[in-house]
Structure 1
Amino acid sequence: METSTTPAQNSEVTLQRVGNEAILHDRRNGRAHVINESAARLWELCDGHTSLDDIVSAFAAAYGMQPAELRDDVLYILSKFRQLGVLA
């Protein structure tokens, strides 16, 4: 994935927070995907304007880590989001 890529949420998917978890509701097929808080934060950053590099940097700052340490994790979650169809 290019560093300038700007992942965007699918407009048919909504996020609902429940305690320490979150649920992505897909209105197209009625499916619900339970995700953890970190994945929910990542999904919220997928606004179609924030670049992959900026997303990784935001996570690194939030967790007190270097961007290189988190990049593969962010890419993995984004790939799962693509498989689920929750990204545009």
Structure 2
Amino acid sequence: MNLCGKPQARSNFIIEKIDKEFVLFNTENLEIMYLNQSAALIWSLMNGILTTQDMIDLLIETYPEAASEIRTDVIETMQRFLERDVIQFI
């Protein structure tokens, strides 16, 4: 994965918090995707301004105790988002 790419959520997806779960809702085909808290946090950072590496650095700075897992979590989450056509890189 290109860590210099700037991920951005596609406009046809909205995120909703239902009880303690996060759900991505595709407004075009009405499909849903459940997100854990980590994936929801990553989703919130995808603004088309931050690169994937920027997001990793920011999360490591914010959660230094989880630094060893953050890079892998971000990359795997981005790959799942790409597979489901939820994001695009600009």
Q: TM-score, normalised by structure 1?
A: 0.87
One-letter amino acid of the counterpart of residue 3, structure 1: L
| Poorly superposed stretches of 4+, deviation over 6 Å | none
Please provide the CA RMSD for this pair: 1.6
Q: Aligned-pair distance for 1:19?
A: 2.9
Counterparts of 2:86 and 2:21 in 1: how far apart (Å)? 17
Q: Alignment length, in residue pairs?
A: 88
The worse-fitting range, judged by mean Cα deviation, of 71-80 and 61-70 is: 61-70
Match of 2:7 in 1: 7
Q: Counterpart of 1:17 in structure 2: which amino acid? A: K
Distance 1:67 1:46 in 2: 19
Q: Secondary structure at the match of 1:49?
A: coil
Displacement of 1:65 in angstroms is: 3.8
How far residue 69 of structure 1 moved from its aligned partner, in angstroms, is: 4.0
Query: 1:84 — aligned with what?
Result: 84
CA contact (8 A) 1:25 1:33 kept: yes
Could you say if the C-alpha distance between residues 16 and 57 of structure 1 is closer, same or farther in structure 2, counting changes exceeding 3 Å? same
Percent of aligned pairs sharing the same letter = 24
**Distance change in 2, residues 1:64/1:45 (3 Å):** same
Alignment partner of 1:62 is 2:26: no
In structure 1, stretches of 5+ residues that fail to align are none
Taking a change above 3 Å as real, the CA distance of residues 17 and 66 of structure 1, as seen in their structure-2 partners, is closer
Structure 2: state its 5+ residue gaps: none
C-alpha distance after superposition, 1:23-57 (max 9, x if no partner)? 00001210011111110110111111111111001
